[in-house]
Amino acid sequence: MSEVYSFKVKTSYRNHLVDITPQVKEIISKSGVKDGICVVFSSHTTGGITINENADPDVKHDILTELDKIVPLNDGYLHCEGNSAAHIKASLMGFSQTIIISDSKPVLGIWQDIYFAEFDGPRNRTVYVKIIEG
């Protein structure tokens, strides 16, 4: 039987990539699963989950800057809450990532980490993790 885990993420900016790799690694370790998959999921419509480089902080900056160019904050959107750009960016980013578990560790590239992608912050968010043995 597999369990759903969760943890909180506090974001500090309207657009913010928060490294959540340590929390995911801890959950994998606690699960006791040696081999399987891990699904990391955001239940928020204005925040997503992505995997990208962790070595150079300029990469996070560049991602957020380019997303702002593609999806500007104000562009004649009809949604009355003023956060349509955040909804669009989160949809583009995606709401989950599936990660292979091998030898009780997530299989990530040498430069990769897992990020919560905030587009309507600052906020307190919840990330869900499902570990499936196999």
pTM: 0.96
What does the domain layout of the chain look like in residue ranges? 4-133
Rounded Cα distance between 82 and 85, Å, is 8
CA distances (Å), 24 to each of 4, 73, 100, 133, in order? 12, 31, 12, 15
pLDDT band (50, 70, 90) for residue 30: very high
Rounded Cα distance between 125 and 41, Å, is 11
Rounded Cα distance between 4 and 130, Å, is 5
Work out the average pLDDT over 70-81: 95
pLDDT band (50, 70, 90) for residue 1: low
Q: Where are the alpha helices (DSSP H) in the chain?
A: 21-31, 57-70, 84-93
> What type of residue is 77?
Y
**Spatial contact of 49 and 21, defined as CB atoms under 8 Å apart:** no
Helix (H, G, I), strand (E, B) or coil at 26: helix
pLDDT of residue 92 exceeding 70, the answer is: yes
pLDDT band (50, 70, 90) for residue 94: very high
pLDDT band (50, 70, 90) for residue 3: confident
Tell me the CATH architecture of domain 4-133: Sandwich (2.60)
